[in-house]
Amino acid sequence: MGLMSAYSAVLRGASNVYVVDQVKERLDAAKKIGCIPINFTEGSPVDQIIEKNGGMVDRAVDAVGYQAVDKGGKNEQPNVVLDQLIHVTRPTGGLGIPGLYVPADPGAPDAQSGKGQILISFGKLFEKGLKLGTGQCNVKAYNRYLRDLIISGKAKPSFVVSHEVSLDEAPGAYDKFDRRVDGYTKVLLHPNGPL
């Protein structure tokens, strides 16, 4: 979802689009579509973006949700991206939060997150007067528009596909995707065999 959000921002004419991730293949794909890759394991993404941008950004999007991970890239930290968005966005800017948040998560790293309660810098959010848009994307409101962009050649979302495999190869491909090995980021399945 993060790369497609970034690609949408590029298509809509954003002057600078930063993609924050730790997976090399996704960062490489972001660069290929004109975005500026930020590897959060190499330092604070807020500091990296502010330095590269010459200041805070106008808009920021959380396309990860409660499964975000800490700077080590291993442990879930549900609030990390939201808090970073608040700090990297300039006063009166806007935050888009289509990243998934749930009202209850039995696998959460702490009791508070398990109840859907995410600790964020609300005082900073309030002080900056940031606007929030949350919730799942209303896909049906955009699907015809996006389809037409693809048909006209203005949008080419196939860049997100790292591998195309037959249905018989799906279990192995899923395992590799799950372990983030061999460059598996998005896999396209061909039920009738390869094209």
Architecture of the domain delimited by 2-155: 3-Layer(aba) Sandwich (3.40)
Provide the token pair at 166. 């037959």
8 A C-beta contact, residue 36 and residue 17: yes
**Residue ranges per domain, the chain?**
2-155, 161-195
For residue 102, the SS3 value is coil
Instruction: Give the model's confidence band at 141: pLDDT under 50 very low, under 70 low, under 90 confident, else very high.
Output: confident
Instruction: Give the model's confidence band at 140: pLDDT under 50 very low, under 70 low, under 90 confident, else very high.
Output: confident
pTM recorded for the entire structure: 0.83
In the prediction, which pLDDT does 55 show? 97
**Cα-based distances in Å from 9 to 2, 16, 182, 186:** 11, 9, 28, 20
Tens of pLDDT along 17-75? 999 999 898 999 999 999 999 999 999 999 999 999 999 999 999 999 888 998 888 89
- Alpha-carbon distance 55 to 5, whole Å? 22
- Alpha-carbon distance 169 to 172, whole Å? 6
User: What letter would DSSP give residue 76?
Assistant: B
Cβ atoms < 10 Å from Cβ of 64: 21
DSSP 17-58: -EEEES-HHHHHHHHHTT-EEEEGGGS-HHHHHHHHHTS-EE
Instruction: Give the model's confidence band at 1: pLDDT under 50 very low, under 70 low, under 90 confident, else very high.
Output: low
Which residue do the tokens 């502010």 mark? 50
